Chains A and B, each alone.
Chain A
Amino acid sequence: MRVFKLIYMNALRHKLRTSLTILGIAVAIMAFGLLRTVVAAWYLGVNQAAPDRLITRSKNGITFTLPVAQKQAIERIPGVADLTYSAWFGGFYKDPKDFFPQIAVEGVHGLSLYPEFIVDSAALDAFDKEPNAAIVGKTTMDRFGWKIGDAVRLTGQIYPGDWDFVVRGVYTGRSEATDLSQFLFNFKYIDQRMQVEMPARAGQVGWWVIKIDDPAKAAAISAAVDKEFENSSDATLTETEAAFQQSFVAMAGTIVFSLQVISFLVIGVILLVAANTMAMTARERISEYAVLKTLGFNGKHILGLIAGESLLIACLGGVLGMIFLIPVLHGVGVALKAWFPAFIIDPKTYPQAAATAVLVGILAAVFPSWRAIRVSIVNGLRRIG
């Protein structure tokens, strides 16, 4: 008990220095948690991919389209349970900087391949009947303040011109990780206008979505699909939805990797901050440690005092950092909702941050303690007078 009091009182001796160190550690722990969450959010989308869906895209590249005429050939392949197509619209609402994904789907049938999207039957009904009906994820609805029945005009970049839609439904997610940012509408709506304005681009879909009857046969079915078109001008590349999403993540992979490196550099920075404070502290108190040693206190006691203070500071910083993390993650999550549909704190982040704080507390005390213990009593005492 006495010892804890001594550690506590020692920590309070330089209130400004201690507070700044705690704050520094707090900010770093918060940054660590934020970076970890961003990285986790990147991978979360991939992990949520359905194992029984394959994506077939053009072998020529992600921006190339495929003819809708491939449908019958794919349907004939054994193991294919259901089939639909989608296309990337790539437009914007008012400001091109406000990104959200807009995807043209094959009507109600297209939606049926995504059971993780929950839509009420009235909305499905309207989606079926009205050519320009749109069903929009809750996040994007809230973001732009749209309500059901609102007319929304998107400006197309891949499909040029202005496009008028009416919001007929909101979809929610079956799990917290479901992407709620998509703007979904009928492919037929854009295709009919393309037939008139740019006939060469009509009947072209972005990718095929294949539901298979047995996830274990994914590789064989993928190979069969690609073999079907290998000698045509529209050769395909088929992979599981997870692999498909991963290829997007891989494009950003270097960024994700940098974030991971940075999150560990941040720990290095905290360590330096804490170690610097502890080194200054221990140096100032060399003569006090010498006095304690004359009274019979040994190296272990000195280590306990220095490491105790270091741990106290690091843990306070850690706790404060994790408290900061909650509103910051919330704010960042709201700001990045379109990019990271599921921006939730990975529960692992807390034990990781706590372990980091404890580790920093211990490591920061190593060198100062070693030096304080090593100084002989006589030399320690000579520092005073």
Chain B
Amino acid sequence: MAAPVVEVQNVSKQYHRDKVEIRVLSNLSLSIPEGGFVALMGPSGSGKTTLLNLIAGIDRPDSGQVIVAGTAVHSLGESQLAKWRTRHIGFIFQFYNLLPVLTAYGNVELPLLLTKLSSKERREHVETALNLVGLGDRMKHYPRQLSGGQEQRVAIARAIVTDPTVIVADEPTGDLDKQSATEILDLLGRLNTEFGKTIVMVTHDPRAAERAKVVRHLDKGELN
């Protein structure tokens, strides 16, 4: 058994809306080994996105610990956290979230602008990532010139271009037709098996969950 890359320990999180307190996660623990592929399922509003955000270091728990890639994420300051995310986390969103003014190439290059790589090195990385997702011939296309499935593949290229430790995906196939969804899931599967990437994926789709090595169900703030 490989060492855990993601360690969520006794984490609680609640939100306040007006005076009402919404308990989203209560005393939740989760451990994911290196090279793991976990699917998080559960009803809407059960806290799947919240948990994913905690792991990805874009939100903080009220109590408990989140240790990812050996770093206590919950204890980092804003700017350290930002640097840490660039290095360790690749994001994939339901609605792709590409910048419309940049080409596929420009979008994939974005996270590399924060590294010390030269433009020639960046070019190599971007081309490798886009070739890997099968869009080597679409580099100069803008998001509006791509299909949803292609946009999501560009987003995956953007997520892997920095060679992150963990890939987090929030309903990556939620907005796609069956065919495109299958392509995306195949791609994630390859990233996991061939490249050994650790993946945490939130999904509502049982067929998507089948691809994961482990499926966890969230309900009423607790994991089963």
Contacts from A to B (Cβ < 8 Å): 2-3, 5-6, 9-10, 12-13, 287-288, 291-299, 376-378, 381, 384-385
Contacts and interface: CB of A to CB of B under 8 A. Distances in A.
Interface of B: 53, 56, 58-59, 78-79, 82-83, 85-87, 89, 91, 93-95, 97, 99-102, 106, 109-111, 113-114, 158
Given A9-B101, A10-B101, A295-B91, 7 more contacts: A2-B113, A6-B106, A293-B82, A294-B89, A297-B114, A298-B78, A378-B59
Contact of A295 (B59, B85, B94): B85
Contacts of A3: 113
B99 A296 contact: no
A interface, over-half SS = helix
10 closest Cβ pairs, A-B complex: A296-B86, A9-B101, A377-B58, A291-B97, A295-B111, A296-B82, A296-B85, A298-B82, A378-B59, A296-B114
B99 A377 contact: no
A24 B56 CA distance: 44
A295 B109 contact: no
A296 B56 CA distance: 11
Contact of B95 (A9, A294, A377, A384): A384
B97 A384 contact: yes
Given A378-B58, A378-B59, A384-B95, A295 B86 contact: yes
A377 to B, nearest CB: 4
B101 A294 contact: no
Given A295-B86, A384-B95, A2 B106 contact: yes
Q: Which of B94, B101, B102, B110 has the most CB of A within 10 A?
A: B101
A385 B95 contact: yes
Contacts of A295: 85-86, 91, 110-111, 114, 158
Contacts of B100: 13
Contacts of B91: 291, 294-295
B109 A385 contact: no
Which among B56, B110, B158 has the highest number of chain A CB atoms within 10 Å? B110
Given A13-B101, A296-B85, A385-B94, A378 B53 contact: yes
12 contacts: A6-B99, A291-B93, A293-B82, A294-B85, A294-B89, A295-B85, A295-B158, A296-B114, A377-B53, A377-B59, A378-B59, A384-B97
A292 B82 CA distance: 10
Contacts of A12: 101
B113 A298 contact: no
B114 A6 contact: no
Q: Which of A6, A288, A298, A381 has the most CB of B within 10 A?
A: A381
A292 B110 contact: yes
A63 B162 CA distance: 85
Contacts of A293: 58, 82
Contacts of A2: 106, 109, 113
Contacts of A298: 78-79, 82
Nearest to B81: A296
A313 to B, nearest CB: 15
Contact of A6 (B79, B82, B87, B102): B102
B111 A296 contact: yes
B58 A294 contact: yes
A284 to B, nearest CB: 11
Contact of A297 (B58, B82, B95): B82
Nearest to A293: B82
A198 B56 CA distance: 100
A296 B101 CA distance: 19
Contacts of B113: 2-3
A371 B81 CA distance: 20
A3 B58 CA distance: 24
A175 to B, nearest CB: 54
Contacts of B99: 6, 288, 291
A385 B56 CA distance: 19
Nearest to A285: B99
B62 to A, nearest CB: 14
A295 B114 CA distance: 9
A287 B97 contact: yes
